[in-house]
Amino acid sequence: MNEQRPTIEIIARGACVKQGLVLVCRNRKYGNVYLPGGHVDWGEDSKEALAREWLEELGTVGRVGRFLGVVEQRYVARSGPTCEISLVFEVRCPAIRAGVRPRAAERHLAFEWVPLEGLRGAGLLPVAMARHLPGWVAAAEVAAGRWVGYRK
C-alpha cells in the first residue's frame, strides 16, 4: 500500500518592505503568491536558509534582519496533507528598488511589489500572513527579541 504520510515543512520567508510596498513572489506555473524564501534544510539556521534562498531566487544578497512573526497552516498539497511553519524575517536588499520588478534568478518565479496594506487583496498565502504582516512590520521592535537561532 502506497500511503502518503503527512509532513511538517519549516519555511524561512523574507519581508522586504520599501516605501510602503512589500516584495512578493509568484509561482508562474501555479499562480500562488508568497513572500520570497523557502525550506530550511536539516542543520541549517532559519536565517541562513533565508539568505541562501534569497540569493537563489533573486540572484542578489539580502540581509536578513529582525524576526517578525510565525504562521502555521495545514493544507492538502499535491503530495498529501502538509503542515507548514513559516518563520518571517525582515530583509534589506539595497540592490532592488521599490516599484521596479526584480528579475528572478529561477525561471518558475516572478516578483512584484504590492502595497503592504493591500496584501489581503493580492492573494498572498498563507492568508494569515496577509492579515498579520502589516502589524508585524509596524511593531518589529517588539518582536525582535523573540527569535534565537539554535547556534547562538
Q: In this predicted model, what pLDDT tens digit does every residue of 90-138 receive, in sequence order? A: 999 999 999 999 999 999 999 999 999 999 899 999 988 999 999 889 8
The burial class, CB within 10 Å (0-12 / 13-18 / 19+), for 78 is exposed
In whole angstroms, give the CA distance from residue 98 to residue 130: 19
Nearest in space to 63 (alpha carbons), one of 33, 96, 86: 96
Dihedral sign from CA coordinates of 106, 112, 114, 120: negative
Residue 84 sits in a domain whose CATH number is: 3.90.79.10
What percent of the chain lies above the pLDDT cut of 90? 64
Counted domains in the chain: 1
21 lies in a domain?
yes
In whole angstroms, give the CA distance from residue 88 to residue 74: 17
24 lies in a domain?
yes
128 lies in a domain?
yes
User: Which tens digits make up the pLDDT trace of 5-64?
Assistant: 667 889 999 999 999 999 999 999 999 999 999 999 999 999 999 999 999 999 999 999
pLDDT value of position 17: 97
User: Which tens digits make up the pLDDT trace of 127-148?
Assistant: 889 999 998 898 865 555 444 3
2 lies in a domain?
no
152 lies in a domain?
no
Range of the domain at 65: 7-146
